Structure formats: structure tokens, C-alpha cells
Amino acid sequence: MTDWSWDWNPSEEYLTDGVPPGVVAEVERLTTELAALGPDSVRVGRPIDREGGLREFDLLGGRGFISFLPVPRHACVYVCNITWYG
């Protein structure tokens, strides 16, 4: 377990507007697990050929994805976008 946390960027209201509650719950679950990875979260998801920067991770079997930014300096994973195809 690490001391990393996660947060919404820019805000929860902005990112979750129009997204079903079950999908929001899955995003929160995934980002909690990403934060538990700590510094290793810079290698999770796409792109697979490099570390760091804005990353993507599939949601619910490819029915959408989240874009997240792990920032080691802040010890935080920021959720930056939720794309849901439904």
C-alpha cells in the first residue's frame, strides 16, 4: 500500500456529467487501485511503449475508457477524462 491518492481534474461535476452512476463507481474503483500502485501507475494502460504522461485505461470491457495522469511529485493520480460509449 502506498500513500498515493487520486483526484478529479478539473472537477468531479465536470467529468461525470451525463455518465451513468455505475460507470462513475467503476472509475472510482479503478483509480483507487491505480493510486495503490503508487509510482508504478506511470506504466499502466496506454501507451504501452513509454512511461509517464497522460495514460488511458479501458472501462467495463472496452465500453469506454478513462484518461488519467499519474504525478509522482504530487503522489497523486488525476482523472482527466471519462469517455463512455454506452
Q: What is the pLDDT of residue 38?
A: 94
User: ∠ CA 64-86-65 to the nearest 5 degrees?
Assistant: 10
Q: What is the pLDDT of residue 69?
A: 97
Q: What is the pTM of this model?
A: 0.90
Q: What is the pLDDT of residue 58?
A: 94
Neighbours of 77 (CB within 10 A): 28
The list of the chain residues with pLDDT below 50 reads none
Q: What is the pLDDT of residue 2?
A: 73
Q: What is the pLDDT of residue 1?
A: 61
Q: What is the pLDDT of residue 42?
A: 94
Q: What is the pLDDT of residue 49?
A: 87
CATH of the domain at 46: 3.30.2310
Paired residues of 84 in beta bridges: 64
Cell reading at 3: 500513500
What is the extent of the structural domain holding 45? 5-84
| Cβ atoms 67, 54 nearer than 8 A | yes
Of 76, 84, 55, the closest CA to residue 67 belongs to 55
Number of domains within the chain: 1
